[in-house]
Amino acid sequence: MRSTQKYALTDPVSFKNQMLQWAQIFDEVILLDSNSYQQLYSSYDAVLAVEAFTAIKTDHINAFAELQEYQEKTADWIFGYLSYDLKNDVEHLISQNKDDLLFPDLYFFQPKKLLLLKGNELEMHYLRMVDDEMDDDFQEIQELPDTIQLLEKEDSDCGKVKISLGMTKDVYKKKVGLMLDHIHRGDIYEANFCQEFFAKDSCIEPLQTYHHLNTISQPPFATFLKFDNQYLLSASPERYIRKEGKKIISQPIKGTAKRAEDKTEDEKLAAQLKADTKERSENIMIVDLVRNDLSRTAVKGSVKVEELCGVYSFKQVHQMISTVVSEVKETTSPVEVIKTTFPMGSMTGAPKISAMQIIENLEESKRGLYSGAVGYFTPKGDFDFNVVIRSILYNAAENYISYTVGGAITAKSDPDKEYEECLLKAKAMREVLEGV
């Protein structure tokens, strides 16, 4: 079905920038970039998929059944996203909050052209109808100027973006108080509560914005996604779920601390996060939830916690990450593994269904792609998906820009501190959009 060609690269970092610039001529684009972040579970440094041969786009109704049929029928690489509101397909839930982004709930496509970058080697996997274009495309990409240098010199016609708050600090604190009432009554133990920041009648240069966001964050699960006029520019540090053969890996993040320029102070902040009982309890609650989710498809006795509450440092923040694994039977559908764990526990709460119901009542905007997932399936049925956080969403047709941030609310939460954590998580997006 696909022809494959390998090429040696002299400057893979520049080539990655050049191939994303080249990709802008297509209507369907997904770049997944690890930013050379070394970790145990990874396949490629960067992956670029462009130009749909086939695609599936749908709302939440029977979405997972349709995705499973598409994945099995295609038996090829497919790339796309799952929005948070697919929860309504998994459970008897609804989404009635305002939605100004207007993204479909689910979108996957089979790319005609696929580029896989690992170290100094590029693999191009092209469908046979376009495989005679491989050498020409490779040459064209190499001849493009260095994108980042070009974009830094380029002025945007869009003007300054003015970000508005989805809710004021006082409203946010009041709603956290209501969330705490639910916790103290025993309705839930923890919930991820989010707020939107947005700009109406505004535009951005998506490629320029993505490069800026990725440069200041350099996360392991960065994403540039373009479907016609809809864009996701993501600096996500979090993996949702991965399948390698029969092994399933989930790596929830719960626990955030700021970085410091002074090395000693920075190490102190990381150590404080590691020892923080509130942050650890948040993380452990979600680990228990993930273990329960994975057990629904796991071979009995195979669910294990490989790492609990490890602290990892990124350019903007320190994060507390755990790794939970399981094993599934060869006959288990890849889509079933995702359906039985979606949405990811780090973005919902515990118990999961009650938390999602309370979240829906207290939040003011539809999450959509935020706190959903972007990733791919391989022809063998393996997959890898991130968590859509630390991300800018943009509908160019509607001139609407949005980013959402949230945090875990537990019995020990202080509304003022939770608000400050939200602002910390929003820092990179705000800096990119407002230049502050």
CB 316 within 8 A of CB 427: yes
10 — pLDDT class (breaks 50, 70, 90)? very high
pLDDT exceeds cutoff 50 at 188: yes
The residue among 365, 348, 347, 362 whose CA lies nearest residue 164 is 365
Q: What mean pLDDT comes out for the span 321-335?
A: 97
Any idea which of 95-104, 317-326, 427-436 has the lowest mean pLDDT?
Answer: 427-436
Residue pLDDT, tens place only, 72-127? 999 999 999 999 999 999 999 999 999 999 999 999 999 999 999 999 999 999 99
285's tokens: 């609650």
What's the whole-number mean pLDDT along residues 124-136? 98
Q: Regarding predicted confidence, which is higher, 154 or 254?
A: 254
**pLDDT tens profile 42-58:** 899 999 999 999 999 99
Domain residue ranges of the chain, discontinuous segments joined by +: 2-434
CB 226, CB 109: distance < 8 Å = no
- Can you tell me the distance from the alpha carbon of 114 to that of 4, in angstroms, rounded to the nearest whole number? 10
Please count the other Cβ atoms lying within 10 Å of the Cβ belonging to residue 170.
10
pTM: 0.95
Residue 16 is predicted with a pLDDT of 95
Residue 315's pLDDT is what? 86
Rounded distance between C-alpha atoms, residue 332 and residue 262, angstroms: 49
Task: Quote the mean pLDDT of the chain.
Answer: 94
Q: Of 53-67, 134-148, 206-220, 387-401, which gets the smallest average pLDDT?
A: 134-148
**Residues identified as active-site:** 238, 254
Inter-helix orientation angle 12-23/206-217, to 10°: 150
pLDDT at 145: 84
Domain 2-434 falls in which CATH fold? Anthranilate synthase (3.60.120)
Q: Give the pLDDT confidence of 214-226 residue by residue, as tens digits.
A: 999 899 999 999 9
CA distance 329 to 271: 39
Instruction: Give percent of the chain with pLDDT exceeding 90.
Output: 90
Give residue 152's pLDDT.
55
Do the Cβ atoms of 145 and 24 come closer than 8 Å?
no
Region for residue 39 given its phi and psi (left: phi exceeds 0; alpha: psi -120 to 50; beta: otherwise): beta
Least confident of 77-81, 120-124, 156-160, 381-385: 156-160
Angle at which helices 169-185 and 352-362 cross, to 10°: 150
- Please check the confidence at residue 153 and state whether its pLDDT lies above 50: no
What is the gyration radius of the CA atoms in the chain, in angstroms? 21
In tens, the pLDDT along 292-313 reads 999 999 999 999 999 999 999 9
